[in-house]
Every structure is written in C-alpha cells, then in structure tokens.
Structure 1
Amino acid sequence: MNKGPISKFIEHNYRHFNAAALVDAAKGYETHINEGGKMLVSLAGAMSTAELGISLAEMIRQGKVDIISCTGANLEEDVMNLVAHSHYKRVPNYRDLTPQDEWDLLENHYNRVTDTCIPEEEAFRRLQKHLEDVWNSAESKGERYFPHEFLYQVVKSGVLEQYYEIDPKDSWIVAAAEKNIPIVVPGWEDSTTGNIFASNVIKGKLKASTVKSGIEYMVWLTEWYRANSEGKGVGFFQIGGGIAGDFPICVVPMMYQDLEWTDVPFWSYFCQISDSTTSYGSYSGAVPNEKITWGKLDINTPKFIVESDATIVAPLIFAWILGQ
C-alpha cells in the first residue's frame, strides 16, 4: 500500500522511545492483518467522548477490526456524541475548577470527563426513550439480547437520525452496526444506560434477565474465538487498561486451563497503549511479558507497549494502517 503524508511523517520523525514503539506496533498490526489474521480492539476510559470514532469508524469500514471489547460508557458515549454533539461543553481550564464550579456544572446537567462535559438532558434522554422501547419490545416477546445488540437495534431502526449532529461516518457504533461486527461489553451495568436499565428493574418495569449478562458474553466469546483463531489467529489491540482489556484476553487461559482445551492458540499479536505505572501492581500497567505467565500470550507473540496518551497514539496508528 502506498502511504500518505501522515504515515510518511510518522516514519521519518518517529525513530526512538515511545515514538518508535508506535511505529513498530503499527507495522505489526498491518502485518498481522495482511497475513490473514483477525483483530480485537479494546476500548477503555473515555475513548468515545474523545471522539476516537473519527478514525476507528474508518478502520471498521475497511475491515481492519473484527471484534470490539469496550466498556458500557464507550458503547453509549459514541452515540451520545452522535445525537447531541452541539450541546457538549468544553472546559479547557478544567484543572482550575473549584468544587463550587463542579457543582454548578451538575446543576446545569453537565457531567464532566476531563475537559469535556456531556449534556445529560440532550445526550442521555434522547437515547433513553428509544432504548426503553427496544427493551420493552424484547421482553414482551420473551426475547433476550446483549447490550450492544439492543443498541444496534436502535441505530439500525433509524429513529436516532432525526437527532444526528455529526457526520455519521465519524461514529464507530454506526460503522460497527452497518458491518454487524460483534462487540463484547463487560461490566455494562456501571454505565449510564446500565443504570437506567437497573432503575427500570427496581421499578418493576423490566426483568433483569432481558439483557444478557457478562457471563453470557464470555461464553459467546469462547465460541467466537474458537471459530476465528485458525491460521494467523486473533490479535489483541488494547487501548487503555481495565475491564475492557482484561475480560476478553482471559478467554484464552479460561479455555486452556479451566476447560482443558489444549488446542487453543494464544493471542497472536498484542499491543497496549497505556499510561499506567508498571510497578504499582496494576494489570493495566503490566508489561506484555507478564501475560505469558497467565497463559494469554505465547513466547513468540509479537508484543508492543506504547506508554503514552491513547487519544494521540491510536489515531496515528490507525492512520498508518489505513495508509493515510
């Protein structure tokens, strides 16, 4: 593939330290895909609020991402930005805010993520009614779905199009729904839409079982991995840390150790963009080699770690893979 100006800039300037690790990781991802491998991308933190969809959506459309694992927050916040973008409020001086300033934001229905405030009324409430409709519809028919499947139903129905405030090509959820790629959402319960669903259960309006659980996600992921890990295998591109990465990567040792399926291939590529400190005992900050001891990566798995800001690094790596 002929590389565009961003890729040429990266290759010419990014020669050492984390910059060099970025280039190595991008080339490794590209090689993995070109040799027929599949790729899982995990999204932690507030990547959707950071509008990573601008680059991730194109990766999905071009078949560079086969499955996504993300937090419930990332699942919903991409759609919230899609339907309420003009109502978001940026606070460049967020470090200077007093507790009173923060309270004032709450009073005005703004929920802050670093320098970006999500507009509660416009974002959450525009989505809530339509999600409640599909939850109620499924329950009335005795059907059950995963959290992302319910969101796909809403997006594909077209009911949100009246609210669109950005170009839908910049929404990774829209791209994922159009290609129907699988999404795994561990810990969905702690998201805003998860809380809304729980409130409906407490009110007696819905059954908790209508939304499929994290255990069911793991069982499903087991089947998907078995079906997709032949040949070059499945790679793992981890943006940030936390449950979005820890949950899906564990499917391999679970099959090998707990199910005693000794023919299960290890993850065949691994990269993590992280700002977590290795020495604090955190999983998110663990260097890739530690994962060998847990039966997640092989000795020969290509391993990369870029210790930097994912909002800077991920779009650059994606630009390389897309030949931009």
Structure 2
Amino acid sequence: MERGPISKFIEKNYLHFNSAALVDAAIGYEKYIDAGGKMMITLGGAMSTAELGISLAEMIRQDKVSIISCTGANLEEDIMNLVAHSHYKRVPNYRDLSPQDEWDLLENHYNRVTDTCIPEEEAFRRIQQHIHKIWVDAEAAGERYFPHEYMYKLLNSGVLEQYYEIDPANSWMLAAAAKNLPIVVPGWEDSTMGNIFASYVIKQQLQPSTVKSGIEYMAYLAEWYTKNSEGKGVGFFQIGGGISGDFPICVVPMLYQDLEMTNIPFWGYFCQISDSTTSYGSYSGAVPNEKITWGKLDIHTPKFIVESDATIVAPLIFAWILKQ
C-alpha cells in the first residue's frame, strides 16, 4: 500500500531533532507490529478531549493496537465528546482568563480543560443517568465488572445513540467496544464517573465492590501480558505521563521479581511522547534507560522519546502507521 500525502510530507520534512525522533518512533512501531509484535498504547492527560479518537479509532479498527491503558478521564471524555460535542465551549484566550472569568465558567456549568470547556449537564449528567442504571442492575444481579466493561455495556446498549453529535467513526471507545479491546484504567476513582460512583457508595446506594479495583486490574493485566508476550512480545507506546503509563509498565518487573516468572520477556518496544522535563525525580520525564534499572526494558529494547506536544505528535505517528 502506497503512503498517502501526510506520510510523504513527514518523510520529506521531518529530518532532524524532535521531528526525526517522531519518524524513528513511527518506523519502529510499524516494524514491530509488522513482525508480529503487539502494542499497548497508554493515554495520559486529556487526549480524548483533544479528540485523539479521530486517529486512534482507526488504529483500533486496523488492529494496530492490542490493549490500552488510560486514565478514567480519557475513558469517559471520549464518550462525553461523542454525546455532547456541540455543547463544548472553546476558549482560545484561556491564558488571559482572570479568576473571576474562571468562576463564571463554573457558574455556567463549564469545566475547563486548557482551551476547551466540557458542559456539565450535557456531558457528565447525560452519561450519569444511564451508567447509574447499569451499576444498579449489575449489583442487583450480584455481578461485578471493570470500569471499562461498564462503559462497553453503556455503548453497546445503544441508549446513547440518540445523543450522538459526532461521526461515530471518530470515537475510539466505540471502536474499542466493537472489538472488546482489553483496557486497563488505573486510578479510575479520580475521574468524574469515579467520583459519581463514590458518591453513591457514600450515600449507601451502591457497594464499592460493584466496580472491580485497581489491584484486580493489575492481576487482569498480568494474565493478559503472560498470554501475549510470547514470540515478538508486547511493545509500549506511552502518550503523556502519569498513572496510565506508570501502572501498566510495572507488570513486567512484578511478574519477574515478585511472581518469580524468570522467563517473562521485557517490553519489546518503548516510546514516550512527553513534554515533561527530566528533573527532580520526575518519572514522567525520566529517560527510557532509567527503566532498565527497574527491570522494565531490556538493554536491546528499541527506545524512543519525542519531547513535544502529544496532541500534535500522536496523530502524525498514527497517520504514518496507517499510511495516510
């Protein structure tokens, strides 16, 4: 398949510095999966609100990603954008906002993520009324599921279709639900839906055990990694920093050191897109080689770091892999 205009532009112009690192990482990703490797993508920050779904959904449909680790915010915000896109408010001059301006946004039920404000009623509450019923029904049936499984149930039920405001092809969660793609959501409790679920627990309307925990996610990931690490193994493509990357990368040293599975392979590819600087113990800004000392990466693991804005870099890397 011949490369399209975006890939050709990248090939011609991205020759040095971070642009060259972008190309090296993209070629490394492509070679890895073409050789039979599987890839985990981790989503930090607010990549769903940045509408990464436009490119990530196609990556999922074309089997260029085997598993995702994401924050609870990224899990839900792709769905929020799906059902409330026209109600979002963009604030291009966000750097000039005063505390009073910010307060006025709050009073008008807008929650700001950089230059984009998420509408509370149309996004949070619209999902809440439907997900609450799914939680209640599961508990009544004595069933327990992971946060992403509840979201799959929500999407697959069709109850949100009446609200769709974007092309469904641009929702990575819809693409993931269609394939029942494995997802790990560490720290789900700090998301909006996690907070809402906690409020029902505090009001004694739901039991905490109705949603499976982070420890259960680690056990789920350990089983998945063990089954999928044979042959070419599993690569690690980290978008941003934080818990979505820190949590899953630890599964390898846990299997090797704590479960004494001494034949478990290291991650077979590593790339991080981050603007976090290497300083003062920042793990998000740590260079890949530091991960060797923790038993996460091998000496020979292909390692890439693109120190730039992930909202710019990730869609370009995905465009290269998709030959766009």
Length-normalised TM-score, structure 1: 1.00
Q: Aligned pair 1:283/2:283, yes or no?
A: yes
Q: Aligned pair 1:202/2:220, yes or no?
A: no
Partner of 2:36: 36
C-alpha deviation, 1:323, in angstroms:
0.4
Partner of 2:306: 306
Distance 2:228 2:133 in 1: 34
Distance 2:112 2:280 in 1: 27
CA RMSD across the alignment: 0.4
Q: Aligned pair 1:162/2:162, yes or no?
A: yes
Partner of 1:66: 66
Distance 1:12 1:84 in 2: 38
Partner of 1:140: 140
C-alpha deviation, 1:2, in angstroms:
1.4
Alignment deviations for residues 198-217 of structure 1 (CA, whole Å, 9 cap, x no partner): 00001111000000000000
Partner of 1:76: 76
C-alpha deviation, 1:244, in angstroms:
0.1
Distance 1:91 1:221 in 2: 38
Distance 1:214 1:73 in 2: 15
Partner SS state of residue 279, structure 1: coil
Partner of 2:215: 215
Partner of 1:55: 55
Distance 1:65 1:254 in 2: 23
Partner SS state of residue 283, structure 1: coil
Partner of 2:21: 21
Q: Aligned pair 1:244/2:244, yes or no?
A: yes
Distance 1:252 1:321 in 2: 26
Partner of 2:259: 259
Distance 1:280 1:77 in 2: 31
Distance 1:180 1:260 in 2: 30
Distance 1:16 1:290 in 2: 24
Alignment deviations for residues 210-258 of structure 1 (CA, whole Å, 9 cap, x no partner): 0000000000100000000000000000000000000000000001111
Distance 1:300 1:266 in 2: 10
Distance 2:279 2:14 in 1: 27
Distance 1:315 1:20 in 2: 15
C-alpha deviation, 1:188, in angstroms:
0.1
Partner SS state of residue 304, structure 1: strand
Alignment deviations for residues 288-315 of structure 1 (CA, whole Å, 9 cap, x no partner): 0000000000000000000000000000
Amino acid at match of 1:193: M
Q: Which 4+ stretches in 1 moved above 2 angstroms?
A: none
Distance 1:133 1:2 in 2: 48
Amino acid at match of 1:163: Y
Distance 1:2 1:35 in 2: 19
Alignment deviations for residues 149-199 of structure 1 (CA, whole Å, 9 cap, x no partner): 000000000000000000000000000000110100000000000000000
Distance 1:133 1:98 in 2: 39
Distance 1:281 1:292 in 2: 16
Alignment deviations for residues 58-111 of structure 1 (CA, whole Å, 9 cap, x no partner): 000000010000000000000000000000000000000000000000000000
C-alpha deviation, 1:260, in angstroms:
1.0
Partner of 1:178: 178
Distance 2:178 2:280 in 1: 41
C-alpha deviation, 1:281, in angstroms:
1.4
Partner of 1:295: 295
Distance 1:273 1:18 in 2: 10
Matched pairs, number: 324
Distance 1:20 1:268 in 2: 21
Amino acid at match of 2:108: N
Distance 1:298 1:106 in 2: 47
Q: Aligned ranges for residues 6-17 of structure 1 at < 5 Å?
A: 6-17=6-17
Distance 2:279 2:186 in 1: 26
Partner of 1:90: 90
Percent identity over paired residues: 82
Unaligned runs of 5+ in 2: none
Amino acid at match of 1:231: G
Length-normalised TM-score, structure 2: 1.00
Amino acid at match of 1:300: H
Partner SS state of residue 323, structure 1: coil
Amino acid at match of 1:49: T
Partner of 2:225: 225
Partner of 1:104: 104
Amino acid at match of 2:52: L
Partner of 2:118: 118
